Amino acid sequence: MAALKHIFNELHYEMTRKLAEGGMGVVYEAVQLGAGNFRKVVAVKLIREEYSAIEEFQRNFIGEARLVADLIHTNIVQTYHLGQIGGQYFMVMEYVRGVNLEQFLEQHRKLGKRIPVDLAAFIVSRVARGLTYAHMKCDRDGRHLNIVHRDIGPKNVLVALEGDVKLTDFGIAKALDLMHNEEGKVIAGKDEYLSPEQATYAITDARADLFPLGIMITELLLGKNIFRSTDRAQSRRNILTMPIPQFSTLRSDVNPKLEAIIQRALQRDREKRYQSAHDMLTDIEIYLYSDGYGPTNEKLGVYIKDLFGVRDPIIPSLSSRPPPCDLR
């Protein structure tokens, strides 16, 4: 870490602490330094040293950076820069003060609380909003990029203390000419958040991101992933064959409108599922706002600060792949 700090200091980044590690990357908190005492807190994602010499990992890391650099949207974590030091690639990313949805769920379990239905739906609507943008993205020549995130799940959704919801980690995304892709040979994604297409090694399109979005809203409502098993293969079998329950029987304040949205998102036949993130977003927003005032970023921000007991405005921040929450 000392050698790393020295190298990054020369690049005008002051490394402060390791935030998370997993997969092929390690994420650090850093302060970007500039003229006139300019200081900006950022997250630096560094490809692991043991993977940096493997061409496939390099291609994916570079591909992720190139992809996300042009995904400029309030519901997607921003990437500012791709660099290289000593043969290792790194990305400089937006630093989000808040928690990921896994931590959000865990805090509710710890306190014995249920997530309010409207806030659960609001969070998922913001992810759908980010996906709508990503799925429709074209390159500079007007070619549709055909982006599929392929790793939608609570760890990859951040909720800032101000209430902003942001999708992150496009490391295993599928996109035109950008990402190394062995679809059909390997399963990309986490077993308990796969679409049926992913679980059966089928070629995916944007609709594959909507089934796990359906899983995520049910997890926020029930406090658990109904497909998760201790055995990975069983999780995949559950995705493919487990009867989908009526969620209003599991939580009485799930009304028929929300039930219909969930059931459509969890259609195993993708032709019967939502055909776009925009369609799903539209239905959720009609559900949330058709009767008048509904949830906002500000309402979610107040809720999350109260949930974690945040009183001090100077609090620890979490990056695109945050560690266990230490807010207090």
pLDDT tens sequence across 63-112: 889 999 999 999 999 999 999 887 788 999 999 999 999 999 999 999 99
Round the average pLDDT of the chain to a whole number and report it: 89
Residue 326, pLDDT > 60, answer: no
Task: Give me the catalytic one of 151, 191, 209, 283.
Answer: 151
Q: Which residues contact 134 (CB under 8 A, 6 or more apart)?
A: 71, 73, 76, 147, 149, 167
Do residues 307 and 108 lie in contact, with contact meaning Cβ atoms separated by under 8 Å?
yes
Residue 6, pLDDT > 80, answer: no
Specify the pLDDT at position 247.
Answer: 98
Residue ranges of the domains in the chain?
A: 2-93, 100-307
Note the pLDDT tens digit of each residue in 27-75: 899 999 999 999 999 999 988 777 777 888 888 888 889 999 999 999 9
Specify the pLDDT at position 187.
Answer: 77
Do residues 145 and 71 lie in contact, with contact meaning Cβ atoms separated by under 8 Å?
no
Specify the pLDDT at position 324.
Answer: 38
Do residues 65 and 84 lie in contact, with contact meaning Cβ atoms separated by under 8 Å?
no
Specify the pLDDT at position 2.
Answer: 60
283 is catalytic: no
Specify the pLDDT at position 12.
Answer: 83
Confidence of residue 257 (pLDDT cuts 50, 70, 90): very high
What CATH number has the domain spanning 100-307?
A: 1.10.510.10
Phi and psi at residue 16, to the nearest 5°: -110, -40
Note the pLDDT tens digit of each residue in 125-163: 999 999 999 999 998 899 999 999 999 999 999 999 999
Specify the pLDDT at position 50.
Answer: 79
The distance between the two most distant Cα atoms of the chain, rounded to a whole number of Å, is 61
Could you list the beta-strand ranges (E) of the chain.
13-22, 25-34, 38-47, 79-85, 88-93, 98-100, 157-160, 165-167
Which CATH architecture group holds 2-93?
2-Layer Sandwich (3.30)
Of 191 and 24, which is predicted with more confidence? 191
CA-atom Rg of the chain in angstroms: 20
Query: Span 173-199, mean pLDDT?
Result: 84
Note the pLDDT tens digit of each residue in 262-314: 999 999 999 999 999 999 999 999 999 998 899 999 999 999 999 999 975 44
- DSSP H helical segments within 142-185, as ranges? none
Specify the pLDDT at position 325.
Answer: 39
Query: Span 110-121, mean pLDDT?
Result: 98
Which tokens hold the place of 268?
């195993």
C-alpha to C-alpha distance for 328 and 324, rounded to whole angstroms? 12
**Buried residues in 139-157 as b, exposed as e (16+ CB within 10 A):** eeeeeebebbbbbbbbbbb
